């Protein structure tokens, strides 16, 4: 690369000077502005000057001129990323890159959906992908729309006005776990609610689904608060006897394996004394002794998400995407 050694900030004016063209021509040449044509010879001259100076166009300036941004914003709790979804996020980034968009993750946490939507709107992304449906209300969607953001995709069990909703029902994860436990003859079922901020958006619908199933049977469900720490798992195991529970659905496989180990360390036999079911079918689950029963959540592929969002950005509409349902992976722990 022919970049100069200077540390000075390089602007489009420097590129214009070196190429011997106007600053507007530099802008037209670098931004492929449809309305303004420059000759291929001029474009080549500008590109050579930009390369020589190491000039990088400013995406924000480009988005203001072109009337749109090339950022796709995905708000997500950092705690919810982990190994389970990292390949999925990588795949999503690759899909967007192929189309000239950049995916950025917003890991902020907000007091309410309106504050969240205002914060996302300020960045003026081309599109927003909402994985935690509780963070997006009709009022939040209206804020995004008024900011000119038309492409909003949400993975949720209930449609929000003005949002393209892909049906992914966390309630059915809790329902599937409890249906399985009841079918195995369990009657008193604990439901782990993680104390970590940002996970309640997933844990609450899972609890709701568990309660709905239990209400139709003789089984009872009890919500149990647990932090993702060894101390919290051990504290739950310490008091386990007085709870009279014969099963536990432990939010996901991370919490389930922590609790499984803590219960075993106290001398409980799994599944004889207590059946344990996780969710997300994480990598370690099949290797645990006993191997962990889990509820696997089928989810849209990165390409399905990206194609939907890009279609919304470019045409204002997108074809319907099928619903996603959980699948029970039965192993030895239940």
**Closer to a copy of itself by Cβ: residue 209 or 271:** 271
CB 65 within 8 A of CB 33: yes
CB of 260 to a copy of itself, least distance (A): 9
Nearest Cα to 144, choosing from 124, 166, 161, 129? 124
The alpha-helical segments, DSSP class H, found in 133-229 are 138-146, 171-183, 200-215
Q: Does 235 bind a copy of itself (CB under 8 A)?
A: no
CA distance 105 to 17: 37
Residues 6+ apart with CB under 8 A from 229: none
Tokens standing for 140?
């939040």
Stretch that binds a copy of itself, among 4-12, 30-38, 200-208, 304-312 (CB under 8 A): 4-12
Task: Lay out the site mask for a copy of itself across 9-38 (x = CB under 8 A, - = otherwise).
Answer: xx----------------------------
Q: Which of 17, 23, 99, 145 binds a copy of itself (CB under 8 A)?
A: 145
61 near a copy of itself, rule: CB under 8 A = yes
Q: Which stretch binds a copy of itself (CB under 8 A): 15-23, 63-71, 201-209, 216-224?
A: 63-71
Please report, as residue ranges, which positions from 105 to 134 form the binding site for a copy of itself (by CB under 8 A): 105-109, 114, 118-119, 121-124
Find the shortest distance in angstroms from Cβ 102 to a copy of itself: 7
Backbone φ and ψ of 177, nearest 5°: -60, -45
- In the bound state with a copy of itself, the residue whose beta carbon lies nearer, of 28 and 255, is 255
> Does 308 contact a copy of itself by CB under 8 A?
no
Which of 72, 168, 221, 233 is the binder for a copy of itself (CB under 8 A)? 233
User: How many other C-beta atoms are found inside a 10 Å radius of the C-beta of residue 39?
Assistant: 10
Interface with a copy of itself, residue 200, by CB under 8 A: no
Distances (CA, A) of 205 to 108, 115, 144, 307: 21, 22, 25, 27
Rounded least distance, CB 258 to a copy of itself, Å: 6
Phi, psi of 12, rounded to the nearest 5 degrees: -65, -25
Task: Please give the residues from 263 up to 292 whose contact with a copy of itself meets the rule CB under 8 A.
Answer: 264-265, 283-284, 286-289
- Match 């901020």 to its residue by tokens: 197
Binding to a copy of itself (CB under 8 A) within 71-100 occurs at 71, 73, 77-79, 81-83, 85-87, 89-90, 93, 97
> How many other C-beta atoms can be found within 10 angstroms of the C-beta atom of residue 106?
16
206 in Cβ contact with 248 (< 8 Å) = no
153-192: which residues touch a copy of itself (CB under 8 A)? Answer: 162
Q: How far is the CB of 62 from a copy of itself (least distance, A)?
A: 8
What secondary structure, in 3-state letters, does 32-77 show?
CCCCCCCCHHHHHHHHHHHHHHCCCCCHHHHHHHHCCCCEEEEECC
Binding residues for a copy of itself, total number by CB under 8 A: 79
């Amino acid at each position: 690369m022919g970049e100069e050694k200077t540390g000075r900030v390089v602007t489009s004016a420097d590129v214009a000077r070196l190429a011997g063209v106007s600053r507007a021509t530099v802008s037209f040449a670098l931004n492929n502005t449809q309305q303004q044509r420059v000759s291929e010879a001029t474009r080549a001259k500008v590109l050579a000057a930009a390369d020589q100076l190491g000039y990088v166009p400013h995406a924000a300036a480009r988005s203001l001129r072109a009337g749109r941004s090339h950022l796709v914003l995905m708000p997500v709790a950092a705690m919810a990323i982990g190994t389970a979804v990292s390949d999925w996020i990588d795949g999503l980034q690759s899909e967007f890159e192929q189309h000239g968009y950049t995916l950025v993750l917003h890991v902020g946490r907000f007091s309410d959906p309106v504050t969240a939507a205002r914060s996302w709107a300020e960045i003026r992304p081309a599109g927003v992908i909402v994985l935690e449906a509780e963070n997006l209300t009709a009022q939040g969607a209206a804020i995004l729309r008024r900011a000119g953001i038309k492409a909003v995709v949400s993975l949720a069990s209930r449609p929000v006005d003005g949002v393209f909703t892909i049906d992914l029902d966390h309630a059915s994860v809790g329902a599937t776990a409890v249906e399985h436990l009841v079918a195995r003859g369990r009657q008193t079922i604990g439901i782990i609610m993680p104390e970590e901020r940002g996970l309640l958006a997933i844990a609450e619908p899972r609890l709701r689904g568990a309660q709905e199933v239990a209400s139709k049977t003789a089984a009872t469900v009890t919500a149990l608060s647990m932090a993702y720490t060894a101390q919290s798992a051990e504290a739950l195991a310490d008091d386990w006897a007085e709870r009279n529970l014969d099963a536990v659905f432990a939010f996901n496989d991370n919490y389930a394996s922590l609790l499984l180990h803590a219960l075993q360390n106290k001398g409980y036999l799994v599944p004889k004394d207590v059946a344990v079911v996780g969710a997300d079918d994480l990598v370690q689950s099949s290797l645990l002794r006993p191997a962990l029963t889990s509820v696997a959540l089928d989810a849209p592929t990165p390409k399905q998400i990206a194609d939907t969002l890009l279609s919304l950005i470019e045409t204002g509409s997108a074809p319907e995407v099928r619903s996603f349902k959980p699948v029970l992976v039965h192993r030895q722990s239940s």
